[in-house]
Amino acid sequence: MKKILDLISGEVAAAFAACGYDAEYGKVTLSNRPDLCEYQCNGAMAAAKEYKTAPFMIADRIVEKLSGNPMFSMAESVKPGFINLKLEGAYLADYLEQMQADTGRFGCEKVKEPKVIMIDYGGPNVAKPLHVGHLRSAIIGESVKRIGRFMGHTMIGDVHLGDWGLQMGLIITELKLRQPELPYFEEAYEGAYPEEPPFTISELEEIYPAASAKSKEDEAYKEAAMQATFELQQGRKGYQALLSHILSVSVSDLKQNYENLVSFDLWKGESDAQPYIPEMVQKMKEEGFAYVSDGTLVVDVKEETDTKEIPPCMILKSDGASLYSTTDLATLVWRMQDYQPDEIIYVVDKRQELHFIQVFRCARKTGLVKPETELKFLGFGTMNGKDGKPFKTREGGVMRLEHLISGINAEMYKKITENQNAKENLGISPEEAEETAKTVALAAIKYGDLSNQAGKDYIFDVDRFTSFEGNTGPYILYTIVRIKSILKKYYGMGNQIQEAPILAAHSESEKNLMLELSKFNATMETAFEETAPHKVCSYIYELANAFNSFYHANKIMAEEDENVRKSYIRLLELTKSILETCIDVLGFSAPERM
């Protein structure tokens, strides 16, 4: 379905053309004076210059042309030359009618040329607990993926585990110290390695920080860890076997932690890039891109137009060990080979931007990606506490994701049970309250994050995010639940709405709700094009507000005119569907009641 703004622009453009002006001037936008009109066209102001006529003369002619047009209930020219427009109620009602008939899509067409888009997000580091820093990547990435899917693209989400750096060498070194008798350390060992991992996840999570602390104090220990990392990277069998254990233990823990929060299509990691490194490096050398500088193999990536210095991209350390950029480059090799993506989006902390500039340039220069493949860095800001500093535990430590989530779950549980005691007793069982609390808590966290432009830092304010009022996830869910409950009552009384048309609005609040509904397709398109889930958030906030104003200003169930009542119910159905579709692309859902 065409976007409503395009339909309106089309009509106004035709009027410009009919009056002998360039149709381009007929572009219509949403009004920035909603008190005066719904849409506006400023084209007469621009046309005035070209046609050397006073703008209001042009505006008057256009308005004259538009008079009697069934699309508009008002077309007015306002000095010095604005054209103010209001949609005819019947026209808008018919638009919504078509939206609702378009099941599941509500007027939003899938793209004509779907792309294959890979999305690199999450990025947890194995053996290290998930912390809030990884939360943003997961939340934003998941939403970008879902928006893309909704638009018809093939979206492939890859978690890109951090499993190939010094942290692996550290774990190996510490383990060797603690359990030297294990076969993994015996170089001449020929047998099969045990199937059971030599540690649990909690042991692993204790081993890493212990090793990391030691390496900062003990130079020899650090040397040993670097050596172990190197040997692992060179394919030492016992270490490879340990890596598999570390991975399997970590990944099953991660999967649990990510449950309900995100779902990845691929569980690849940095280590999956290893097999592609030697050939890639060889090629970069042969083709003259890579050269040794101060012992490190590098590729120059600076460009003439740079305003700040972009250092060379490092390919291999002097001992031949690979780096963060090496695995990112070699990951591109298998991504291109196995998926031929048209685009790859990296959802990573914006502080890593320089790394990605280097990697992208190096990949282009050395031909790792085809020229048409777009590499996009979606850098996100820091999640801060109320003190404006990076979010920490009360004791000042790094906040673990699971603790953050369980804390908010508890907070939500309290609110829901209080709410239910205070108001009508809905008969919600403790089990249902717990489930509902989880659903609402997830919405609070995700919406709290997504409603901010990704690139900005934001304050994680638990009290605000969990509030049922204001621009919050719970408020959106509350609105959906409110609609569900009215519908349930309505249908519960044996009512039906078959064949009842959506009527032209009877009040301003109803018209406003209808206008908001009609913006759905445009919102989705823009959110995808601009990789901007926050646009979906602002849309549903406006929509929820419009619905609640309508709800407060009108009697729905008690409306006497049966046709009007049915039309209201149809609007409720559409509002509910659209809100639900939107929260689904944001990555959360609504409970039945709360």
Which residues would be at the binding site for ligand ARG (CB under 6 A)? 120, 123, 125, 160, 162, 328, 346, 348
Residue 538 and residue 472: Cα distance in Å, rounded?
Answer: 10
Q: Considering beta carbons, is residue 347 or 483 the nearer one to ligand ARG?
A: 347
Characterize the bridge pairing of strands 290-293 and 296-299.
antiparallel
Q: Rounded to the nearest 10 degrees, how much is the dihedral formed by the CA atoms of 403, 408, 414, 420? A: -140
Q: Give me the least distance between CB of 331 and ligand ARG, in Å please.
A: 7
Residue 103 and residue 543: Cα distance in Å, rounded?
Answer: 19
Q: Considering beta carbons, is residue 120 or 205 the nearer one to ligand ARG?
A: 120
Q: Give me the least distance between CB of 352 and ligand ARG, in Å please.
A: 7
Residue 211 and residue 554: Cα distance in Å, rounded?
Answer: 65
Q: Give me the least distance between CB of 86 and ligand ARG, in Å please.
A: 49
Q: Considering beta carbons, is residue 123 or 157 the nearer one to ligand ARG?
A: 123
Q: Give me the least distance between CB of 161 and ligand ARG, in Å please.
A: 7
Residues 6+ apart with CB under 8 A from 367: none
Angstrom CA distances, 64 to 50, 67, 83, 262, stand at 21, 5, 11, 55
Q: Considering beta carbons, is residue 273 or 522 the nearer one to ligand ARG?
A: 273
Residue 346 and residue 356: Cα distance in Å, rounded?
Answer: 9
* CA 120 to chain CA mean position, Å: 12
Q: Considering beta carbons, is residue 272 or 510 the nearer one to ligand ARG?
A: 272
Q: Give me the least distance between CB of 348 and ligand ARG, in Å please.
A: 4
Q: Give me the least distance between CB of 259 and ligand ARG, in Å please.
A: 20
Residue 42 and residue 26: Cα distance in Å, rounded?
Answer: 8
Q: Considering beta carbons, is residue 346 or 551 the nearer one to ligand ARG?
A: 346
129: nearest Cα among 212, 217, 187, 70: 212
Q: Considering beta carbons, is residue 346 or 588 the nearer one to ligand ARG?
A: 346
Q: Give me the least distance between CB of 274 and ligand ARG, in Å please.
A: 15
The HSE-up count of residue 298 (CA atoms within 13 Å, CB side) is 14
Query: Rg (Cα) of the chain, in Å, rounded?
Result: 29
Backbone angles phi, psi at 157, to 5 degrees: -95, 130
Q: Considering beta carbons, is residue 123 or 473 the nearer one to ligand ARG?
A: 123
Helix ranges restricted to H, 36-126: 43-51, 55-66, 89-101
Q: Give me the least distance between CB of 361 and ligand ARG, in Å please.
A: 15
Q: Give me the least distance between CB of 328 and ligand ARG, in Å please.
A: 5
Q: Tell me the residue number closest to ligand ARG, measured at CB.
A: 123
Residue 187 and residue 378: Cα distance in Å, rounded?
Answer: 44
Q: Considering beta carbons, is residue 129 or 162 the nearer one to ligand ARG?
A: 162
The secondary structure of 487-526, three-state, reads HHHHHHCCCCCCCCCCCCCCCHHHHHHHHHHCCHHHHHHH
Q: Give me the least distance between CB of 325 and ligand ARG, in Å please.
A: 9
- Asked whether the beta carbons of 583 and 476 are under 8 A apart, the reply is yes
Note if the bond before 209 is cis, omega within 30 degrees: no
Tell me if residue 70 falls in helix, strand or coil.
Answer: coil
Q: Considering beta carbons, is residue 63 or 359 the nearer one to ligand ARG?
A: 359
